[in-house]
Structure 1
Amino acid sequence: MLEIEVKPYNVLTKEELYELLQLRSEVFVVEQNCVYQDVDYKDQKALHVLGKKGNKLVAYTRIFNAGEYFKNPSIGRVVVKKEERKFGYGHNIVQASIEAITTKFNHLPIEISAQCYVIKFYKTHGFEQLGEEYLEDGIPHVKMIRN
């Protein structure tokens, strides 16, 4: 079972911050072989959705209110530790992020920049593709909206 916590940046412990940065680097930089600047000074504006199994961070997203990243509220840096993906934690963390946006920001639609290979995954959560494919950090992405 995944335990979910939603925290602003200034409430994250040093250990939680280290864990989330490590997980993002492990997946986005090493596993996906993508050299990009993950530490982007946007974490301070975000709410951090932490998915823990026991005391260990295994899934994560960061969410933003309207106007803080995109025009609409948004979800980004969606990540699940490789060996934990078989348990469906990606669905759990995205659903928790959608719920957190609706409760905390009370504003729709939700906008994401999705890697193309997970379009089907996001469609199961009510997102629809908007526009054409584009490259972000060398990886094909599409804009998606959930009303």
Structure 2
Amino acid sequence: MIEWQWATLDTLSPHAVHAMYALRQQVFVLEQTCLYPDIDAADLTAHHLLGWQGTTLAAYARVLPAGTKYSEPAMGRVATLAPYRGTGLGKALVAQGIARAEHHYPGTGLRISAQQYLIHFYQHFGFVTEGEPYDEDGIAHIEMRLAPV
């Protein structure tokens, strides 16, 4: 069973911060070979969603406040560790992220910069594409927006 934690960076334990950065490094830098500054200033104002399976951080996403990247809040760094993929954890992670963003930022909607191959995955939640695909760190991405509830 996954235990969800929703917190700002300054309220996370050192262990949780280390696990968060280790998961992001594993997925984005090592597996997807994206050499980019993953640790950025947005982490300082983001709400971090951590999905714990016991003491293992199995899933992670962050939600940025409106005005950080877009005019509305944005969800990003959505990732699950390889052993948990295909289990439904990714869907649970995104559903949790949407619910918590709607609760924390009511009536604003949510934007993501999705890897293009995941369009159908995010459409399942009601996200719609906006604009044309673009390259980000060697991976095709597309902007997607979820309308306010």
Q: How high is the TM-score relative to the length of structure 2? A: 0.95
Q: For 1:119 and 1:108, how far apart are their aligned partners in 2?
A: 21
Aligned twin of 1:91: 91
Q: For 1:2 and 1:86, how far apart are their aligned partners in 2?
A: 15
Q: For 1:89 and 1:69, how far apart are their aligned partners in 2?
A: 26
Aligned twin of 1:131: 131
Q: For 1:15 and 1:107, how far apart are their aligned partners in 2?
A: 34
Aligned twin of 1:50: 50
* Superposed displacement of residue 34, structure 1: 1.4
Does 2:103 correspond to 1:103? yes
Query: Counterpart of 2:2 in structure 1: which amino acid?
Result: L
Query: Counterpart of 1:86 in structure 2: which amino acid?
Result: G
- CA offset digits 1:3-59 (Å, max 9, x no partner): 111001110111101101000000101101111110112100100000111121100
Kept in 2, the 8 Å contact 1:73–1:107? The answer is no
1:36-47 aligned at under 5 Å gives the runs: 36-47=36-47
Aligned twin of 2:144: 144
* Superposed displacement of residue 108, structure 1: 2.2
* Superposed displacement of residue 136, structure 1: 1.1
Query: Counterpart of 1:70 in structure 2: which amino acid?
Result: Y
* Superposed displacement of residue 107, structure 1: 3.0
* Structure 1 gap segments, 5+ residues each: none
Does 2:69 correspond to 1:69? yes
Q: For 1:53 and 1:117, how far apart are their aligned partners in 2?
A: 27
Aligned-residue RMSD, C-alpha: 0.9
Q: How high is the TM-score relative to the length of structure 1? A: 0.96
Query: Counterpart of 1:108 in structure 2: which amino acid?
Result: T
Q: For 1:81 and 1:32, how far apart are their aligned partners in 2?
A: 12
Identity %: 37
* Structure 2 gap segments, 5+ residues each: none
